[in-house]
Amino acid sequence: MGRILRALSRNKPAAAGLMVVLSMFALSILAPRIATHGPDDVDVTMRLKAPGVGGHILGTDRLGRDVFSRMIWGSRVSLKVGFVAVGIAVLIGVILGSLAGFYGGWLDSLIMRFCDLMLCFPTIFLILAVITLLEPSIWNVMLVIGLTGWMSVTRFVRAELLSLKNRDFVWAARNMGASDLRVITSHLLPNAMGPVFVTATLGVAGAILTESTLSFLGLGVQAPMASWGSILADGKQFITSAWWLTFYPGLAILITVLSYNLLGEGLREFLNPHARGEKLN
C-alpha cells in the first residue's frame, strides 16, 4: 500500500483524483455533522433562493430544501451505488474469469460467448429495460448495474489466468497436492488482481454516472431520498431561473467521475510496467 501511495503521489493527476475521492468519503461519512439542514426539510417560504440567501450556501430548490445538505447526503447514495454495484460486478467477473481461464475448453468457450453476447447490447439500454420491469429503488439500481458490468472483469481475469496457470509456481502447488480451488484462490488470483483493481476503480465512476442518469430519468433513487441525479431532475424546469439546481450537482458528478478516472489511470500505470517504461522513455 505504501508503494502505491508513493507512486500515486508522484503522478499529479492521480494524486489529485485520490484527494478528491478521499474528500468525498469524508463528506459522506460526516454528512450528519456537515449538513446545515436536513436533506428533506421543506420550507416553502425559502423556495428557489439563490446561493447565500438565508444561510443556504448553495441555495434552495422548488420546495425550499437546502441544496448543500441534499448534495452532501446525495454523495452517500452515489458512493454506495458505486461500490456495491462494482462489488457485484467484480465478484461475478472474478468467478467466471477464473473458471474460463483455469479450465479452458468448452467451459471457456461457453463463458466467453455469453460475455460476447452481453457486450452486444448497449449497456444503458439494457439497464433501462431491466429497471422498467422492476420497482425503481436504490437496491435494484445497484443490482442491475452490477449484473450488467462484469464482462470486462471476466476478460481481464481470464487473460491473466491463461498466462499464469502454466508457470512453475502453479506446477509446484499442484505437485504438493493443492486442490484447484486452492491453486486459483491462493496462487493465481493474487497475481491477477492488478487489472481488476484498475477496472473496479473505473467501474465506480461508471456506476455513479449510470445511477445519476437513472435518477435523472426517474428510474433510480426515489423521492424523498436525495441523489445528484434527482437534484438535477428537480432543477431542469428551472434551468434559466435557478441555475444552481443544475450547476452544482452536474459539477459534483463531473469532478467525481473525472477523479475516479484519473485515479484508475494512475493505478494502471503503476501496475503495468510497460506503461511505466513508455512514460519514462
Selected residue with higher pLDDT from 39 and 100: 100
Q: How confident is the model at residue 1 (pLDDT cuts 50, 70, 90)?
A: low
Residue 2's pLDDT is: 66
Query: Is residue 281's pLDDT more than 60?
Result: no
Q: How confident is the model at residue 98 (pLDDT cuts 50, 70, 90)?
A: very high
- What is the rounded average pLDDT of the residues 179-194? 85
Query: Is residue 124's pLDDT more than 80?
Result: no
pLDDT over 90 for what percent of the chain? 19
Distance CA 118, CA 112 (A): 10
Residue 258's pLDDT is: 93
* The amino acid at 50: A
> Which superfamily does 2-280 belong to?
MetI-like (1.10.3720.10)
Q: How confident is the model at residue 113 (pLDDT cuts 50, 70, 90)?
A: very high
- What is the rounded average pLDDT of the residues 222-244? 84
Residue 122's pLDDT is: 78
For residues 162-194, one letter each, b for 16 or more C-beta atoms within 10 angstroms of the residue's C-beta and e for the rest, the string is bebbeeeebeebeeeeeeeeebbeebbbeebbb
Distance CA 106, CA 86 (A): 28
pTM over 0.95: no
Q: How confident is the model at residue 272 (pLDDT cuts 50, 70, 90)?
A: low
Non-local (6+) Cβ contacts of 193 within 8 A are: none
Cβ–Cβ < 8 Å for 56, 46: yes
In DSSP terms, 60 is beta-bridged to: 66
Residue 279's pLDDT is: 45
- What is the rounded average pLDDT of the residues 97-109? 91
The total of other beta-carbon atoms located within 10 Å of residue 109's CB is 11
Residue 278's pLDDT is: 44
- What is the rounded average pLDDT of the residues 216-228? 81
**pLDDT digits over 13-67, tens only?**
888 888 999 998 898 888 888 887 888 888 888 888 888 887 888 888 888 888 9
Non-local (6+) Cβ contacts of 24 within 8 A are: 75, 79, 256, 259
Using the 8-state DSSP alphabet, how is residue 41 labeled? -
Query: Is residue 275's pLDDT more than 60?
Result: no
> Would you say how long the chain is, in residues?
281
pLDDT over 70 for what percent of the chain? 95
* 224 cis-preceded (ω within 30 degrees of 0): yes
Q: Which of 131-135, 147-151, 273-277 has the lowest mean pLDDT?
A: 273-277
Query: Is residue 139's pLDDT more than 90?
Result: no
Handedness of CA 151, 154, 160, 166 (dihedral sign): negative
Handedness of CA 21, 26, 29, 32 (dihedral sign): negative
Q: Which residue ranges make up each domain of the chain?
A: 2-280
